[in-house]
Structure 1
Amino acid sequence: MVLVLLQVLVCVLFVAISMRDLLNGEGAGTLLSSQPFFDPQVSFPSLLAILPLLCFSFPGFDAVTTLAEETIEPEKTMPKAVMLITLLGGTLFVIVTYFAQLVQPNFQAFSSPDSAGMELFMQIGGNLLSAFFLAVVVLAAVASAVASGASGARILYAMGREGVLPKGFFGYLSPRFRTPVWNIIVIAVVAMMANFLDMLTATALINFGALLAFVFVNIAVIFHFYIRHQQRSGKGIILYLLLPLVGALFTGVFWMNLGATALILGGCWFLVGLGYLLYLTKLFRQPPPSLHFEEAESFN
């Protein structure tokens, strides 16, 4: 909560100082402009070219769902948490990006795209604001790593507990701490591999899996609610057919535009998973293990 408040405070300071500079005639010299949302000089292929970076930057808002079994009334709490995280993060991103575009319309003025945020904070707020921004960024990175490690270890534990992965290793809990220690170590080792990967390779691996998973999540919603449980009222058609269908189509388009590197590396990883599935099901002669949760499903 403290970190969230600090991030909000940074955004508020940035917006306030940006408004002051814009009212003084700096940057675009106006508080209202459509240019941050639509620039005729930016082509659609150029937008598609940055999709891998965008997809790499934003997955993770759903990681909170991995702690559903430790949550009171998860069927009510988790959907609200995911929506609040998405709305809060999305709102802050849009507002900050909007004012950043107005304050510095010329993106080529930055010495490096990787440090553009730092340069912008230095430009409008000097050393004090840029130092505060850097401190919050470091704290956010650490918090993100801890949250990602916890969620990844929790998923591996659930898969080990249900026999999807070897139970003796992945389903083990420390008798003293009651935590999946081996899974935490596995996540840490995998995370350390980032030191040996360039941004292109890391982006390719993550985007392939994330976008493909999102496609199948949308398809699963259609099969589970609309087809199997026949949620076919007016509300059901919108929520369980049209929206997930649109989501699957858009995500599928993004997935197909990831580029050759992502498709080759991700395809190799997919084949490894397929091979393990064939071994687990004895060439599909028996059903694969499934995850079971303590909370019973309920439908409106």
Structure 2
Amino acid sequence: MVSTANQQGQQSLQRVLKTRDLVIFGLIFISPNSAQSLFGELTFTSGGHGVLAIFVGLIAMIFTAASYGKMASIVPKAGSTYSYVTHSLNPGLGFIAGWAILLDYLIFPMMIYKLSSTFAMELFPFVPLWLMLLILIIPMTFFNYRGAKLSAHLNTIMLIVKLISVFLFIGCAAYALIMDGGIANLVQVNGLYKAETFSVNALIAGASIAVLAYIGFDGITALAEDAQVSGKTVGRAAIITCVISSLLIGIQVYFASVIQSQVGKIKHIDTAFYDIAAVVGGSSLAVITTVILVVTGTATALAGQASGSRVLFSMGRDGVLPAFFAQLHPKYKTPVYSVFLLAVLGYVGALMIPISVFFLIVVFGAIVGFIFVNISVIAECFIKRKERRGKDFFTHFISPLLGISVCVYILLGMELVGQVVGICWLLIGGLVLMIKTQGFRKEVSALNIDQ
């Protein structure tokens, strides 16, 4: 049997995570070595300005992470975006916001499983895609089924392995540049800016891809109900994660850009980083980074699956999705059916959808969710609570407004396919909401979906 409610009729996820676990969780989901898989597309789309694109993305993420931190201190409840918007605005908009970011949680693990399986098949070409996906998805689903504490232990190991890959490349790249032209060769303008290829439109399009490298800090706040820390600390962990990741990712992209400008044209965009790794560290470094990407990529999908299952749990608990989404395992206190559903969707999606399509649509849901959370801070703190004096004017109005502005700018600069798929997803969510509210005549929070 699976429990459906506690003594008060409200379910609570087992609180087992520490602050350190939250930061590790965010770093795993964001992935300090994500630059290695994004470098080719990021460089191509931004016209060679990958580092600047990462900086533009960081601006949006810092302001948005601050908003998540504020809302986490007000609403320390699993579900993150959905819970915050429901509390500050209304349940209907909360549903749409949760639906938007659910697209991110659904697509991101699929994309990572597909990428990891594709790279693994380069090492083991005799294994078909359908089997490789099962090899990766089944153990990760088991860890989420057993509970967040077990996942946190695995995350720590995976993070260490990722950092080894990051610093190994940085060390080899720095050594290669120093050997080629002395220590002064480490600082080159063309690693940051190329006048002949610079374009604001290209930079913003690149920033929409760079946002992929930051998706994950909101996953920290989605685990707020798991944590043995306050909502304020959960938000602080999100900001810390963004800053650390931006430094690690930016340094990798900088060195790769410098090397690429010296090497010349890269043969294949998808494998651009591995060509760079082969130049600075030989085939051994290229193989090592490939293996680490395959192994740790599954940990990233693990984190995405965990956050997604908790969003489904929260929406099921509040009655805007079928109640079985909110059912917990009696021993592990995990949303077992939500975990299994995301595993099945992840497998089918990774099997059928091309990698190129994933890159185009994965950011849309996250950006829309980020915009909603920034609006929530203004609505809750600046308007409802009237906290407008001194620094509150900046933290409750200026900061979230800047977050909204940069996010909208990035959203408008996305590829058309991503925008179309994202809008269609929102329209489907609106249709579901209309049906559940009988033409918007009922309050979302008053619904009993089982009936």
Which bin holds the TM-score, normalised by the shorter protein?
A: 0.7 to 0.9
Correspondence for 2:430:
274
Structure 1 residues 219 and 156, CA gap change in structure 2 (3 angstroms): same
1:44 pairs with 182, 196, 200, which one? 200
CA distance in 1, matches of 2:302, 2:266: 31
User: Offset of 1:92 from its aligned partner?
Assistant: 0.3
CA distance in 1, matches of 2:351, 2:214: 21
Structure 1 residues 81 and 265, CA gap change in structure 2 (3 angstroms): same
User: Offset of 1:146 from its aligned partner?
Assistant: 0.9
1:137 pairs with 293, 312, 315, which one? 293
Asked whether the 8 Å contact 1:118–1:130 carries over to 2, the reply is: yes
Structure 1 residues 154 and 144, CA gap change in structure 2 (3 angstroms): same
Correspondence for 1:293:
none
Structure having greater relative contact order (Cα 8 Å, sep ≥ 6): 2
CA RMSD across the alignment: 2.3
Correspondence for 2:306:
150
Correspondence for 1:183:
338
Asked whether the 8 Å contact 1:63–1:151 carries over to 2, the reply is: yes
Correspondence for 1:288:
444
Correspondence for 1:211:
367
Correspondence for 2:405:
249
Correspondence for 1:261:
417
- Structure with greater Cα Rg: 1
For structure 1, which runs of at least 5 residues remain unmatched after alignment? 291-300
* AA at the equivalent of 1:38: Y
CA distance in 2, matches of 1:237, 1:125: 50
The list of structure 1 runs, each at least 4 consecutive aligned residues, that deviate by more than 6 angstroms after superposition, is none
Structure 1 residue 30 corresponds to structure 2 residue 185? yes
Please, what TM-score do these two structures have when normalized by structure 1? 0.87
Asked whether the 8 Å contact 1:51–1:254 carries over to 2, the reply is: yes
Q: Structure 1, residues 88-110: CA drift from partner, whole Å, max 9, x if none? A: 11110111111222223157532
For structure 2, which runs of at least 5 residues remain unmatched after alignment? 1-155, 447-451
CA distance in 2, matches of 1:8, 1:16: 12
Larger proportion of helix: 2
* AA at the equivalent of 2:160: L
Which structure 2 residues correspond to residues 34-113 of structure 1 after superposition, within 5 A?
34-41=189-196, 42-106=198-262, 108-113=264-269
Asked whether the 8 Å contact 1:27–1:105 carries over to 2, the reply is: no
- Give the secondary-structure state (helix, strand or coil) at the position aligned to 2:333: coil
Correspondence for 1:10:
165
* AA at the equivalent of 1:147: A
User: Offset of 1:200 from its aligned partner?
Assistant: 4.4
* AA at the equivalent of 2:438: K
Correspondence for 1:228:
384
CA distance in 2, matches of 1:177, 1:12: 36
Correspondence for 2:22:
none
Please, what TM-score do these two structures have when normalized by structure 2? 0.60
Structure 1 residues 38 and 80, CA gap change in structure 2 (3 angstroms): same
Q: Structure 1, residues 28-82: CA drift from partner, whole Å, max 9, x if none? A: 9711122222221222222234344333443223212222111112313312221
Structure 1 residue 194 corresponds to structure 2 residue 347? no
Correspondence for 1:295:
none
* AA at the equivalent of 2:321: L
Q: Structure 1, residues 127-156: CA drift from partner, whole Å, max 9, x if none? A: 332232222212220101111111111111
User: Offset of 1:216 from its aligned partner?
Assistant: 1.4
Structure 1 residue 128 corresponds to structure 2 residue 284? yes
2:174 pairs with 19, 26, 31, which one? 19
Asked whether the 8 Å contact 2:208–2:414 carries over to 1, the reply is: yes
User: Offset of 1:7 from its aligned partner?
Assistant: 2.3
User: Offset of 1:176 from its aligned partner?
Assistant: 4.8
Identity of aligned residues (%): 28
Correspondence for 1:294:
none
How many residues are paired up? 289
